[in-house]
Structure 1
Amino acid sequence: MYPDRRNDRRTLSLALAGLTVALSALGGGAQAQTGTTVSLVSEYSLRGLSLSEGHPAPQLRIDHDADSGWYWGAFASRVRLRASSATALAIGYAGYARRLPSGWSWDAGVSRAVFLRDARNSYVEAYAGISADHASARLSLSPSYYGAGRSAYLELNGFRPLGERWRLTGHAGLLHWLSGYGAAARSRIDLRAALATDIATSSGDVSIEVGLQARQRDPGLGAPRARALFAGASLGF
């Protein structure tokens, strides 16, 4: 991961475009729903990798759901990457969701991840998934994941209520390289389990999560694995 400041202007333009979409969403129709979440996590981890090198990271997320089934949003987090000048990651996404008569739902969309000040690691993914009340599955495909090669990522997510306020959440993911990435392992697994609770306050709903995570070793990958223990707090309004 090396800095490429020639792409800074394009990266900044994409980030501003995502912010413009988010602001326009705030002024959507009466039937639409827009939510904002501010979070602080002990470490920003994604698919078992540490994107903050063990340091806490503040995060912001904006989600907009239209009554027609279309949705879009934006996510931003502070990052620290080895051999990179990237300071933040911004992800914009848009898709369509539909609920089936059986109670299941499906959705499909596209996302764009942009590393500020190091656009060489930016990537695009197309995804599709299904979900029920307590479980979901999603497949994501990228033509150039972190600029390294074509990839597929399959993830399973679920939760189990533990009384009225607590819940147990779980995640399992499989990343498979379809091409590229040199001597790295063709596939790797990441796992995550956490205990979470929600607290209603006058400012909004506070969500607190504490858990464990693990990732299969990948000798060809220079990025560090995320720490086993993690914690986070989010305020949604």
Structure 2
Amino acid sequence: MFLDIDGNRMFTLAFGKGPRTILAHGGWISNVEDWLPALAPLSARWRTVTYDHRGAGLTRVPVERITPEALVEDVFRVMDALGIERCVMAGFSRGTVTAMRAVLARPDRFDGLVLMNGCGEVRSPELPVAPRVPPSSWPGATHADRLRWFLERCTPEPDTEHIRRWGEYILARATPEAADRLFVMEAEQPVDWASRLPQLRLPTLIVHGELDAFYRIEHMRYTQSLLADSELVVMEGSGHLPALTRPLEVAAHIERFFTARGV
């Protein structure tokens, strides 16, 4: 369905009738399909919600209206439109930036946090910070070539050509301009994560693919060290897209973690 959110038509999916709710935010320029394979098994016991954020999928927004602040506000607009008072907030890849900013802004609206193959802009102080290169500067002669290069790095596992084709279909729905904007804009509103995250008391599950080429395990471990009630699960042999390549395992980790904490 499409929700009227801040003057935009935002494509949204909600299914399942469980007593718990999980709201899943996709990564970079990906859409609801990022999370669907993992949300499907969870929907037997959870209400599951995901949406195409600004500039991604079917949610077309002028590039100048894509800002870190607007993405966070959209989280609460979607929650309010669907009558969600509290939920577990989940973010994937660059979508973890929005998820983390949202729970810091209104921790009273959330029962927990899931960070999958991403830790916002948190970086271990022991490692150098790599410059953020816009996708238009990645290897490849065309936007489609650059998306293919990206997806090949996302999927180092054997026998994943079908996942790469699926990923191309998902990412191609966003414009090149939105792709650049969504990849580099967080520097406009920096957060002092090292001082803010220790204040957060939400149970947090961090799921990370061992072979992820974009988020180093050292950054994930550092993020976990800042969160009082957190667990880091490293999925051996997985790359950057575990919810697409191993969705049943992702769902099982989420179910186990939050059931153990009475969520």
- TM > 0.5 between the two? no
**If the length of structure 1 is used for normalisation, what is the TM-score?**
0.33
Higher-strand-fraction structure: 1
Larger radius of gyration: 1
- Larger helix fraction of residues: 2
